[in-house]
Structure 1
């Protein structure tokens, strides 16, 4: 899967580089990796996002496809995320669908041109993954996230995330149930070395519960520091292609974990907004 994704990424970049980008540069903005930015989609513009991450220690991997739609303007945004994953210790040893996410975001403050932007998100997590194979929670989950984006200087932007997930009646592989809560905290710094080339440093912390028995829970923390890069290719028809690469490194409770993270986004106008 990793080799296939790398080939697709390489072919996409090669095709884009051979094309002529005639439109003036459009700065990269809503293409963060582990930490979510607070910019909803512009009116009429749809984004298609693919990510692939592989843990170099456990060899688990996760591919996600996300599609974001303005409804119909910047104030409201709907999206969905389809995860396809492989868990090495799954009893069936297969790769399959995980829990699908349905997302709504509200642009509470600011936009892509503001110094400060806030866009809270609510997500419904559907139990489409098989919890018996360690690919899902076995119950409907509810997630809330507060992303805040701040322009510090002309060339430095930071994003902050605070989130929580509640999954009542979650199941483990043995079918035992418990109500689970997970807390997440993230921060990133984006250096705008060029409108079309950015260096990134992200910090992602989570404290999550798992089902340890009937009504019993165990908590585990995770903390990753992730350096990365992204760049953009802009075209006359409004298409923007953004590939990226990062290397999440486990620290503290996750010391020893190492991953590789690939990102590929296609963003383009889908319709002409009414004036």
Structure 2
């Protein structure tokens, strides 16, 4: 899958201007929607920067592509995630493949990053519940080249606790808290140290229409970078991200969900901006689903 994006300069468009074309498209789609014999359920896709707590239903697979491009550094990150239910909603396996370009790397070229293998357990609730909880355990494989700045150079373990809460019929909130530990992580000089990262996220999703959502997400990360043998340096980042997403539903059971957001740095990250694109394909893989 290939995603292309064009940025305008002199002057750069405001966040609202970037969202306007997609907003108008989604509103047109919503206005044309007819009342179906069976009422459509709301979009329950992954949030963009914050993880929802709904595992995949039995017999349904999801393919997720994201693309993030940072305005100042011109760095970008593309990820592909595939989520599979194991028998039913209780257990879910997935993987995430990253492809990126980091200007801070030694050669400034595109490269593969560290792959994530994920297991998620539906501890509480489901897509129809008021509250859902689905803790995740991930293994981060050292597939990226740490000598060029594209990986940690060691296997890491990540735990995440996503919680989804239906506040009203038209407002849903998702909450995340997680940590990552990477023993013997390496920097570009090969120096090693154990790193421990923390992440917190919160989102509010307004269900303006079963097929159109307005989103506001907040994420804060505290990551450690190796700066010498046994030494690390704390790096923090905070973003507030408004966005929208909409759905196309097909009789075959296929659902396509595009989306766009504009992460804006706040606090210590003030002045940093990015554009975020999202595209999901969700469909049955078992006959009769």
TM-score normalized with structure 2 length: 0.87
Task: Name the structure 1 match of 2:230.
Answer: 215
Superposed CA RMSD in Å reads 2.1
**SS, match of residue 268 in structure 2:** helix
Which residue of 134, 148, 169 corresponds with 2:163?
148
Counterparts in 2 of 1:169 and 1:234: CA distance versus 1, 3 Å: same
Q: Does 1:267 align with 2:257?
A: no
Q: How many residues align?
A: 264
CA distance in 2, matches of 1:183, 1:214: 21
CA distance in 2, matches of 1:141, 1:3: 29
**SS, match of residue 74 in structure 1:** strand
Task: Name the structure 2 match of 1:4.
Answer: 4
CA distance in 2, matches of 1:192, 1:27: 7
CA distance in 2, matches of 1:236, 1:3: 26
**SS, match of residue 253 in structure 1:** helix
The residue correspondences of 1:118-129 to structure 2 (distance < 5 A) are 118-129=133-144
- Please state how far the C-alpha of 1:23 moved relative to its aligned partner: 8.4
- Between 1:258-267 and 1:86-95, the stretch displaced more is 86-95
Q: Does 1:49 align with 2:64?
A: yes
Task: Name the structure 1 match of 2:17.
Answer: none
- Please state how far the C-alpha of 1:3 moved relative to its aligned partner: 6.2
TM-score normalized with structure 1 length: 0.91
Q: Does 1:235 align with 2:224?
A: no
CA distance in 2, matches of 1:211, 1:23: 58
Kindly indicate whether the alpha-carbon contact (under 8 Å) linking 2:3 and 2:67 is maintained by their aligned counterparts in 1.
no
- Please state how far the C-alpha of 1:94 moved relative to its aligned partner: 1.4
Kindly indicate whether the alpha-carbon contact (under 8 Å) linking 1:23 and 1:236 is maintained by their aligned counterparts in 2.
no
Q: Does 1:137 align with 2:152?
A: yes
- Between 1:54-63 and 1:265-274, the stretch displaced more is 265-274
User: Structure 1: which 5+ runs fail to align?
Assistant: none
Per-residue CA distance 1:83-117 (angstroms, 9 max, x = gap): 00000122222101100000000000000000000
Kindly indicate whether the alpha-carbon contact (under 8 Å) linking 1:23 and 1:235 is maintained by their aligned counterparts in 2.
no
CA distance in 2, matches of 1:44, 1:36: 21
Which residue of 180, 189, 192 corresponds with 1:177?
192
Kindly indicate whether the alpha-carbon contact (under 8 Å) linking 1:35 and 1:160 is maintained by their aligned counterparts in 2.
yes
